[in-house]
Chains A and B, each alone.
Chain A
């Protein structure tokens, strides 16, 4: 059941654009090497992803400008 809940949450976060920051694995207390390997690779992944876009508060102006850049237009009229 845990795996289903986690899969659910991973997909929900991905839908919001926060994929890859949640990981689940089973490691027995006898599997020291697996623990090291999982923690190391996940740490490396998080480092490569950089800080969470949610960290340091929420900056709407950055979002507005990035969206405008994505849309390739700066003039928003009406609304």
Chain B
């Protein structure tokens, strides 16, 4: 793999390569360049996971002709598909080297280590939402219990914006969540549940289920579960599969045959 990166950089197939390098004992994202070919011997693959494609998006926004290479797992690849669809990256300028995800029970051929999160502590199990919970089970709680469990989770939010910042498919230049007229400022938690519902709606047809948001969340809000539900609705209502469908999400299209009927009161 190191040889391939070296070859790409030397031959100018890519101008930069985004990978990981061990820096002071931490595997951190690192930009390998032609100028520093010696660095390539430090290129590593491990369990560490960052949105390399998000970094590529930011770089491409400023240098749109730059050819970028990057390491991709399955989730990175799905994110890249979404970014191509939304014209955030030009597929002609992106070259990827696929690496295997870490093994887990959930995926025979290995997946990212995060897919087996820690067991939820008793209080969370009792009054909150276990992050490992299946969407169907989360739907089975009675209305009041469902409400209170979600409110328990959402009121923990410290508005760190970690979920948004790490999200590979969050690319808006201006974020509605930071607009004081839309989300009141000056108190923690941010408006419950509007703050997270706004994000959930924005994730509809975008979220590629990488789980980085939940990984980044310091208070363990089951965001992945929420966005899975959101994409489940998108799939049921709009017949759109995020990450694999070739068109932009149906949320920004107008006019098509109506097949649904308004719900009765």
Question: Are A and B interaction partners?
Answer: yes
Known pairs A3-B258, A79-B124; A15 contacts B146 (CB<8 A): yes
Find chain B residues with CB under 8 A from A3 CB. Answer: 258, 260-262
Interface string of A26-45 (1 = CB under 8 A from B): 10000000000010011001
| Measured CA separation A68–B125 after assembly (Å) | 11
B147 in contact (CB, < 8 A)? yes
Return chain A residues, CB-CB under 8 Å to B238: 4, 8
Expressed in whole angstroms, the Cα–Cα distance for A77 and B125 within the complex equals: 12
Asked whether B146 lies within 8 Å of A1 as measured between CB atoms, the reply is no
B66: Cβ under 8 A from any A Cβ: no
Flag B184-198 by CB within 8 Å of A: 1 or 0 each: 000000001100010
The interface residues of chain B lying within 8 Å CB-to-CB of A76 are: 122-123, 126-127
Contact with B along A51-79 (1 / 0, CB 8 A): 00110001010011011101101001111
Residues of B112-138 whose CB lies within 8 A of A: 121-124, 126-127, 138
Query: Is B145 an interface residue, CB under 8 A from the partner?
Result: yes
Bound form: Cα–Cα A53–B143 in Å: 11
Provide the bound-state CA to CA distance between A58 and B250, in Å. 34
| CB pair B124 A12 closer than 8 Å | no
Number of B residues near A (Cβ < 8 Å) is 46
Binding site of A, secondary structure by majority: helix, strand, loop or mixed? Answer: helix
Check: B104 CB closer than 8 A to any chain A CB.
no
Does A17 contact B148, Cβ atoms closer than 8 Å?
yes
Docked complex: B75-97 residues within 8 A CB-CB of A: none
Q: With A and B bound together, what is the CA distance between A4 and B124 in angstroms?
A: 34
Question: Are A16 and B260 in contact, CB atoms less than 8 angstroms apart?
Answer: no
A1-B255, A18-B147, A63-B148 given. 5 additional CB < 8 A pairs?
Answer: A11-B237, A15-B150, A17-B141, A77-B122, A79-B123
A-B contact pairs, 16 of them (CB 8 A): A1-B250, A1-B255, A4-B237, A9-B201, A12-B200, A15-B229, A17-B149, A19-B143, A54-B193, A60-B155, A64-B127, A67-B145, A68-B127, A76-B126, A78-B123, A79-B122
Chain B positions within 8 Å of A, measured between CB atoms, are: 121-124, 126-127, 138-139, 141-152, 155, 192-193, 197, 200-201, 204, 226, 229-230, 233-234, 237-238, 250-251, 253-256, 258, 260-263, 265
